[in-house]
Amino acid sequence: MVTIALAKGRLMEEAIDVLEAAGVDCGQLKEPSRKLIFFTPDQQIRIILVKPSDVPTYVEYGIADVGIVGKDTLLEEGRLLYEMLDLKFGQCRLVVAGFPEKQDSWITRSHTRVATKYPNIARNYFSRKGKAVEIIKLNGSVELAPLTGLSDVIVDIVESGRTLKENGLVILEEICSISARLVVNRVSLKMKNREIKALIDNIQMVLEERKDGEVN
């Protein structure tokens, strides 16, 4: 049996779509329920629902063999995993954002306060640039931090940019682009090679069909 960890929230619906298209019967997951563990009818696959930031943990420990999770979470958690497929959905950008008028001053200021849900990504990014920053870890509504004066800038993911705009913030720097990834435990790939390879191949086929669909 292969266990797949799915990130609840933003990515879940599309993750289920991809799995279904790849032949994994996720019918049970679509019914309203508070259950956290599901089995496909043939009992070949177990799906567990976890918080996005916990997906890499479950996969690294080998409790889940496979996980579907955003690249932002992978970068933040920095776990030792195989990152085998870019699933292409959940696309967004990881950016530094702030007030446009502060753009010049914050770059030159020696001590910048950065509010973010991604303290590790933010710390690495600014340290690579040789910039001293104070990281303020928040758990949500990060845009509020510069508005209320808690921080000078934020590091966060941006999909359309609407939330930023509505709050009068602009993108100051782009860190990288983000999408959902398929990750695999390093031992599972070897010990359950046949099952996992079949799953990966099926998902890859779905991705290629989708790509062809876009072109046509």
Cβ at position 33, least distance to another protein in Å: 27
Of 86 and 174, the one with the shorter C-beta distance to another protein is 86
The set of residues, in sequence order, having a beta carbon less than 8 Å from that of 183 and lying 6+ positions away, is 55, 56, 59, 66, 67, 68, 69, 74, 81, 82, 83, 84
Of 40 and 188, the one with the shorter C-beta distance to another protein is 188
Of 3 and 116, the one with the shorter C-beta distance to another protein is 3
SS3 content of the chain, % helix, strand, coil (to 5): 40, 30, 30
| Residues forming beta bridges with residue 154, ordered by sequence position | 97, 115
Eight-class DSSP state of 165: H
Of 59 and 145, the one with the shorter C-beta distance to another protein is 59
Cβ at position 80, least distance to another protein in Å: 5
Backbone angles phi, psi at 117, to 5 degrees: -90, -5
Cβ at position 160, least distance to another protein in Å: 24
Eight-class DSSP state of 65: S
Cβ at position 150, least distance to another protein in Å: 30
Cβ at position 119, least distance to another protein in Å: 16
Of 62 and 168, the one with the shorter C-beta distance to another protein is 62
Eight-class DSSP state of 100: G
The set of residues, in sequence order, having a beta carbon less than 8 Å from that of 52 and lying 6+ positions away, is 7, 8, 9, 10, 11, 69, 70, 73
Of 112 and 185, the one with the shorter C-beta distance to another protein is 185
* Contact residues for another protein, defined by CB under 8 A: 59-63, 79-86, 184-193
Largest CA distance in the chain: 60
Cβ at position 66, least distance to another protein in Å: 12
